[in-house]
């Protein structure tokens, strides 16, 4: 069974701080990794994807992938109250299927 593990949180950080979200996955054949943001009652919204080892930066977001350790993380710099949401880690295995983790709730305190 291919799985994604995330700490459910909540992770609470003050406004302006760096939020660090982590995820591990079980399938060594996984090819692409995604971070989605989901506000309560809304659909997932893609914020980052990464498929090569190392770091990928996009604005305030940095995704980090370590395939040897089967670990992917998301850093959010200068966290804002509007970043408060559930962050879903997901991986794509190269078939027609994306596996999601249960998500980490992030709360940014103003």
28 interacts with other proteins by CB under 8 A: no
Nearest to 81 by CA among 17, 8, 4: 17
Among 17, 51, 61, 75, binds other proteins (CB under 8 A): 51
> Of 76 and 91, which CB lies nearer to other proteins in the complex structure?
91
Nearest residue (CB) to other proteins, 82 versus 97: 97
Q: Which of 20, 52, 19 minimizes the C-alpha distance to 33?
A: 52
DSSP secondary structure letters along 83-97: G-EEEEEEEE-SSS-
Q: How far apart are CA 17 and CA 13, in angstroms?
A: 6
Stretch that binds other proteins, among 14-22, 36-44, 53-61, 68-76 (CB under 8 A): 36-44
Judged by the rule CB under 8 A, the positions of this chain that interact with other proteins are 31-32, 34, 42-46, 49, 51, 88, 90, 92, 94-103
């Amino acid at each position: 069974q291919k799985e994604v593990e995330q700490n459910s949180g909540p992770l609470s950080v003050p406004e302006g701080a760096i939020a660090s979200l982590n995820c591990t996955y079980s399938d060594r054949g996984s090819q692409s990794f995604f971070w989605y943001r989901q506000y309560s009652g809304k659909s997932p919204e893609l914020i980052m994807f990464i498929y090569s080892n190392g770091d990928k930066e996009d604005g305030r977001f940095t995704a980090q992938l370590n395939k040897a350790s089967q670990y992917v993380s998301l850093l959010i710099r200068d966290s804002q109250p509007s970043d408060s949401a559930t962050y879903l880690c997901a991986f794509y295995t190269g078939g027609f299927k994306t596996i999601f983790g249960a998500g980490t709730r992030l709360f940014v305190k103003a």
